[in-house]
Amino acid sequence: MNKESLDLKVEIGGVVLKNPVTVASGTFGSGREFAEFIDLNQLGAVTVKGVSSVPWKGNPSPRIAETYGGMLNSVGLQNPGVEEFIKNDIPFLREFDTKIIVNIAGKTIEEYCDVAEKLSHADIDLIELNISCPNVKEGGVAFGTDAKMAKEVTKEVKRHSKHPVIVKLSPNVTDITEIAKAVVEGGADGLSLINTLLGMAIDIHKKRPILANTVGGFSGPAIKPVALRMVYQVAKAVSLPIIGMGGISTGEDAVEFILAGATAVAVGTANFRNPRATMDVLNGIKEYMMTYGIKSLDEIRGIV
């Protein structure tokens, strides 16, 4: 048994990723900057920053705060709009042998559908429907915390999308399995979780919140126990493939998520501390498989 003979392929919504490692939307741009640090061909997929139907300016600065073992962001989905994205980023990403997952944002069902429709003619592999961004008041998070709305938006986006649709869930709910089940009923092809927790930090010297937006999305190693618990719960409740994320920075972290039932894993905040984090995670998974003589991740997925 050697590293090359390991079977790392995973399938989500009919799309085969050569390995289970992708990135968390919003922590990797569209890959351009990271192409200077790592070989993008090594990734199972690149998940790009959320795009909306028209350009969004996002929230005022400061948008970043550090917390113990984690961070807050209130970027608010700043992006140049789906048309710019299609023009500039897809040709770049297509030069690499990796799948493209496009995270989409909207304030209304119509906006989500509009992005999905525009992407239907674009050369991408999967859509990740973000119904869980805590940083945009008008939308996103309301869909992610209400089972009926989550189902509705999933159904509509599915109708407008030629690509399989993964739905990204919010952790800021009483019962994540309820939302997961609703989204499955809506016709989702896969799930990804977790988006950021809602958090806050205060500058005690200035006596005001650090973030201009007061609260923000909490991510990083600190949140891993919540993410892992939710992936575990959702994997037990539904049978769709799951992209697990939340604090993953090592191969060991990734293996925990796979044991809990994740089909693939996404590296997020860890990219900021270590631009090679995705490669470290991929190698760590391979080493674990070698140590325990695991030929395919199917042998251990969800066995916990």
Partner 1 sequence: MKEIKHVTVLENQMIAPYMYSMTLQADGIAELAKPGQFVNLYCKGEARLLPRPISICEINKEEGTINLIYAVAGKGTEEFSHIEEGETIEILGPLGNGFMIDESKRRNIVVGGGVGTPPLLELVKQLKGEVDVYLGFRSYPILVEEFERLGARVHIATEDGSVDFKGNVLELMKKENVKGDIIYSCGPKPMLRAISQWAASQNIPMQVSLEERMACGIGVCVGCVCKTRKKDEGDWQHRKVCKDGPVFWSDEVIWDE
Binding mask 237-266 for ligand FMN (x = CB under 6 A): --------xxxx------------------
Q: How far is the CB of 73 from partner 1 (least distance, A)?
A: 6
Q: How far is the CB of 304 from partner 1 (least distance, A)?
A: 18
d(CA 203, CA 53): 35
d(CA 25, CA 22): 9
Among residues 6, 13, 37, 178, which is the contact residue for partner 1, using CB under 8 A?
37
Contacts of 86 (CB under 8 A, 6+ apart): 118, 119, 122
Question: Is position 72 an interface residue for a copy of itself (rule: CB under 8 A)?
Answer: yes
Q: Which position has the token pair 């970043």? A: 64
Question: Is position 182 an interface residue for ligand FMN (rule: CB under 6 A)?
Answer: no
> Of ligand FMN, a copy of itself, partner 1, none, which one sits near residue 81, judging by CB under 5 to 8 A according to partner kind?
none
Question: Is position 293 an interface residue for a copy of itself (rule: CB under 8 A)?
Answer: no
Confirm if 73 and 135 have CB atoms less than 8 A apart.
yes
Q: How far is the CB of 207 from ligand FMN (least distance, A)?
A: 23
Binding mask 15-54 for ligand FMN (x = CB under 6 A): ---------xxxx---------------------xx----
Q: Which of 21, 48, 133, 281 is catalytic?
A: 133
d(CA 52, CA 230): 27
> Of a copy of itself, partner 1, ligand FMN, none, which one sits near residue 202, judging by CB under 5 to 8 A according to partner kind?
a copy of itself
**In whole angstroms, how large is the CA radius of gyration of the chain?**
18
Confirm whether residue 172 is marked as ligand binding: no
Question: Is position 174 an interface residue for a copy of itself (rule: CB under 8 A)?
Answer: yes
Under rule CB under 8 A, which residues in 175-234 are in contact with a copy of itself?
175, 197-202, 204, 207-209, 214-215, 218, 221-226, 228-229, 232
List the binding residues for substrate: 49, 73-77, 130, 195-196
Q: Which residues are catalytically annotated? A: 133
Binding site for partner 1 (CB under 8 A): 26-29, 33-34, 36-38, 49, 57-58, 60-66, 68-71, 73, 75, 78, 210, 212, 220-221, 269, 271-276
